[in-house]
Amino acid sequence: MRELLPFVRLFWPSRLWIFWGAFFGLATMVASVGLLALSGWFLSAAAFAGLSVISAREFNFFTPSAGVRGFAILRTGGRYAERILSHEATFRLLASLRVWFYQRIEPLAPAGLLRHRSGDLLSRIVTDIDTLDGLFLRVISPLLIALGLAAIAGTFLWWLSPVLALIFWFFFALAGLLVPLLVRHMGNQIGRTMQQCGARLRTAAVEDMQGMADLMVYGADTRHRARLLEESERLLMQQERMARVSGLSSALMTLLAGLAAVSALFAAIPLAQQSVFDGAMLALITFGILATFEAVLPIPHAFQFLGKTREAARRLLEVTEVEPAVTFPENPCREAAGALCLKSVSFAYAGGSGAEALRDVSLSVADGAKVAIVGPSGSGKSTLAHLLVRFWDPRSGQITLGDSDLRQLSEEQLRNTITLVSQKSHIFCATMRENLLIAAPHADEQQLWQALEQAQLADFVRGLPEGLDTWAGEGGARLSGGQARRLVLARALLKNVSIWVLDEPTEGLDAVTQQQFMATLLDSLAGQTLILITHITAGLEAMDTVYFMEDGQLICSGSHRQLLRTSERYRVFTNCAGD
């Protein structure tokens, strides 16, 4: 149960809603029991009174019938209030759970989330949280209501006769504790497996939907459909097993309610015969006890699914308890300007092959300089870019900005100083305008168009039927690779930073557009620092320094012309790259 503790703490801010929800739930149950018990008593007492003409005349029909109506009204009103309050509590919990989860996973991105598939994360944030929010509605609230009712009904029966109260408590405890523990034992593993099967099914379904086009091209869609069906059948099998446990639990609850009523009746008959109370009270006791069992009915169901709830909690904690790959200082340094330097930086990805993606890399980029980092695929260029924006921190060595270690900057300082347009920058399923406004929510029309001009995308957007309000599609599906790249660049250009790290910005552009693009880019970023990561040689002449990397190491540096003269490896590389 330890896995549920962190979530119980989240319930605290909604405690009043929970309390009042449970209070009205209890009031509804008391009214329900009162209604049935009083009706039973009323019918029996009226029947007894009808046997004698004198008693029939004296019998007070009005007070009990008013009581029956009163209980009926109280039950309806109580149920309404209970539903409103408990649903409000549940929705508040749901919202706080989602916000809590999101706040925990945000600092993990991107490093800490790489090992999770997107469908799996989606499943955790939606289904696991939904499962957990039932903890209050299905477990805590019914337990509180059942305890309250056991105290109220038991005290009333004790007043009639202690033996009746003891019988009631005995069967009520069996139904409220023993059956839940039994079905919890039976349903624990099934619930866990159900949650895992459901998560696997959702993850596979999301992945197959995302890769549907490729699956069809390679004729793998039938195989994948069969895999989905298999997962679905596994889930159905668990659901069927759980349904059997539910059936058993319902049967046991009905049996215990019946046994409680019959036992209490047998104990009450001699008391009625001894005139401890009148005969009509037999109906009140029997119907009343039967009605109280309505309060314990949801408990076995909740305990049966406790395994599922615990598995949901475990799956959420599995993500949130991961330490972020980077943390930001509480007392950041004030200065965030100057030259950007890498001093003997080495780095290896956790969970990767173990080989270092960067080995002992040292370089310096002066304030306002334009440098290029060039090298073959897999040489570590993007890794270097990721370290500059602190997606990861170096394993050894140091990165400094002016006199400060990058690790001394607050997240806000860092994001307002250095920006990265990576190869994997995301285009949101929204309009062009909304995609641009992500970087600068208050940018006006003119600024948006200026950024598009700089990214060489303005003509294209102007030609679209809805201009800036054209839908970009899922992941930019309505754009070509080059257009998508320029859109993310235009977005970055809206952010007023001093250091730009652009990872392959000209990828996907034709040679002429590449040249134009580089010219406009250098123009737009005049006076700002640019670190251009590329394996395309267009525009390298305009760079102050070119760093050439291979296999995670810095091989040589200098101007493009110098390197062409002095480095055979650089020459071979640029020739192969199309120079």
Ligand X SMILES: Nc1ncnc2c1ncn2[C@@H]1O[C@H](COP(=O)(O)OP(=O)(O)OP(=O)(O)O)[C@@H](O)[C@H]1O
Residues that bind ligand X (CB under 6 A): 114, 349, 352, 357, 375, 377-383, 535
The nearest distance, CB 451 to ligand X, in angstroms, is: 25
The nearest distance, CB 256 to ligand X, in angstroms, is: 57
Q: Which are the contacts of 209, defined by CB distance < 8 A and separation ≥ 6? A: none
Whichever of 383 and 435 has its CB closer to ligand X, that residue is 383
Whichever of 287 and 547 has its CB closer to ligand X, that residue is 547
Q: Are 392 and 325 in contact (CB under 8 A)?
A: yes
Tell which residue, 394, 525, 400, has the closest CA to residue 451.
Answer: 525
Q: Are 203 and 119 in contact (CB under 8 A)?
A: yes
Whichever of 56 and 355 has its CB closer to ligand X, that residue is 355
The nearest distance, CB 576 to ligand X, in angstroms, is: 13
Amino acid found at 265: L
The nearest distance, CB 175 to ligand X, in angstroms, is: 54
The nearest distance, CB 375 to ligand X, in angstroms, is: 6
The nearest distance, CB 222 to ligand X, in angstroms, is: 32
Helices 141-160 and 221-273 meet at what angle, rounded to 10? 10
3-class secondary structure, 554: strand
The nearest distance, CB 121 to ligand X, in angstroms, is: 16
Whichever of 254 and 575 has its CB closer to ligand X, that residue is 575
Whichever of 375 and 505 has its CB closer to ligand X, that residue is 375
The nearest distance, CB 347 to ligand X, in angstroms, is: 9
Whichever of 207 and 507 has its CB closer to ligand X, that residue is 507
Rounded CA-CA distance 526/539 in Å is 15
The residues pairing with 502 across neighbouring beta strands, listed in sequence order, are 421, 532
Tell which residue, 195, 188, 203, 14, has the closest CA to residue 97.
Answer: 14
Amino acid found at 365: V
State residue 230 phi and psi, 5-degree precision: -60, -45
Collect contacts of 150-154 with beta carbons under 8 A, ≥24 apart.
Answer: 150/176, 150/292, 152/26, 152/30, 153/33, 153/288, 153/289, 153/292
CB atoms within 10 A of CB 385: 22
Whichever of 312 and 399 has its CB closer to ligand X, that residue is 399
Rounded CA-CA distance 198/194 in Å is 6
Whichever of 374 and 452 has its CB closer to ligand X, that residue is 374
Rounded CA-CA distance 378/374 in Å is 11
Whichever of 21 and 505 has its CB closer to ligand X, that residue is 505
Secondary structure of 401-447 in HEC code, one letter for each residue = ECCEEHHHCCHHHHHHHEEEECCCCCCCCCEHHHHHHCCCCCCCHHH
The nearest distance, CB 535 to ligand X, in angstroms, is: 5
